[in-house]
């Protein structure tokens, strides 16, 4: 069996959260992105939120200018964000639901109910050669709707799996497993992310269809203690351990 690669996308939003707490320029999320790139990140993810609570427009300008690895721009399906994406043409855009009051992205996008509204966004991004990802829960209907709407890939929400414990966590892991397998049968690339940490990442990497994990909050938090490069090294070695099990299947 050939080795199925798994990429690590590093989300740098929370470097900007710390910067913005004081309103200055330190720490610079673009420096963090360049450091992550040097330490082996396969891609950088940044979420430009409507309220600009962490990443700013200027950060996106500089990321586009300075990064060598692909930028995955997380964005809400709004005309403002679409214009920004079309101006910058990042390698990929991940459409996420966004509420002003939430602390972080809560739940996946409802592609089934929002199909008609989302479709023009997906088409315009596609026409600009941007690879379109939809952030969804591991739900069969959402996966099928994502395929039908023309997304290149989906990112399955791992937040519920991480938040649960015991049997409930195992049940959610099984949903993720089934969801990822369905994506493969539909020829839909499948990523995963949200809330992942050292404890939870390995079982996710063991799911063979996942080609990329996007991780932010835990990596940035842990970097305070041991540095970003070392945190990424540990995270990648746990991902590789999960992949080893896949190879042995």
**Does 96 help bind ligand PXP (rule: CB under 6 A)?**
yes
Tokens coding 59: 């950060």
With CB under 6 A as the contact rule, the residue among 142, 160, 214, 231 that binds ligand PXP is: 214
Establish if 104 lies at the interface with ligand PXP (CB under 6 A): yes
| Cα–Cα dist 186/26, whole Å | 44
* DSSP-derived secondary structure letter, 70: P
**74 catalytic per annotation:** yes
For residue 181, with 0-12 CB atoms within 10 Å meaning exposed, 13-18 middle and 19 or more buried, which class applies? middle
244's CB contacts (< 8 A; 6+ apart) are none
**Which 152-211 positions form the footprint of ligand PXP (CB under 6 A)?**
155, 193-196
77 belongs to the binding site for ligand PXP (CB under 6 A): no
Number of residues that bind ligand PXP (CB under 6 A): 19
Taking the alpha carbons of 236, 108, 95, 25 in that order, is the dihedral positive or negative?
A: negative
Taking CB under 6 A as the rule, does residue 42 contact ligand PXP? Answer: no
**Rounded to the nearest whole angstrom, what is the least distance from the CB of residue 132 to ligand PXP in the complex?**
13
Member of 8, 73, 92, 105 binding ligand PXP (CB under 6 A): 105
Report how far residue 191's alpha carbon sits from residue 189's, in angstroms, rounded to the nearest whole number.
7
Active site residue 152: no
Give the pair of three-digit tokens for residue 120: 């023009």
Give the whole-angstrom CA distance, residue 119 versus residue 112.
11
- Catalytic-labelled residue, pool 14, 74, 88, 212: 74
- 14 is a catalytic site residue: no
How far apart are CB 203 and ligand PXP at their closest, in Å? 16
217 binding ligand PXP? (CB under 6 A):
yes
Between vectors from CA 55 to CA 50 and to CA 57, what angle results, nearest 5°? 75
Q: Distance (Å, rounded) from C-alpha 157 to C-alpha 195?
A: 9
- Least Å distance, CB 91 to ligand PXP, is 15
Binding site for ligand PXP (CB under 6 A): 11, 13, 47, 74, 94, 96, 104-105, 135, 155, 193-196, 214-218
Active site positions, annotated: 47, 74, 194
């Amino acid at each position: 069996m050939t080795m199925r690669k798994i990429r690590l996308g590093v989300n740098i939003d929370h470097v900007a959260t710390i910067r913005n707490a004081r309103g200055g320029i330190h720490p610079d999320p673009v420096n963090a992105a360049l450091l992550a790139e040097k330490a082996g990140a396969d891609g950088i993810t940044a979420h430009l939120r409507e309220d600009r609570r962490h990443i700013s427009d200027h950060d996106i300008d500089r990321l586009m200018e300075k990064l060598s690895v692909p930028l995955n721009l997380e964005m809400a399906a709004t005309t403002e964000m679409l214009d920004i994406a079309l101006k910058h043409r990042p390698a990929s855009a991940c459409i996420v639901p966004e509420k002003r009051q939430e602390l972080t992205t809560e739940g996946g996008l409802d592609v089934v109910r929002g199909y008609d509204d989302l479709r023009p966004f997906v088409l315009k991004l596609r026409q600009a050669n941007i690879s379109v990802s939809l952030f969804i829960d591991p739900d069969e209907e959402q996966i099928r709707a994502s395929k039908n709407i023309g997304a290149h890939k989906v990112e399955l929400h791992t937040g519920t799996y991480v938040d649960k414990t015991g049997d409930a966590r195992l049940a959610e892991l099984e949903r993720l497993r089934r969801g990822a397998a369905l994506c493969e049968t539909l020829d839909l690339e499948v990523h995963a992310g949200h809330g992942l940490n050292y404890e939870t990442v390995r079982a996710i990497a063991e799911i063979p269809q996942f080609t990329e994990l996007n991780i932010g909050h835990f990596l940035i938090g842990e970097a305070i203690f041991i540095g970003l490069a070392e945190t990424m090294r540990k995270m990648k070695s746990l991902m590789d351990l999960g992949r080893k099990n896949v190879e042995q299947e």
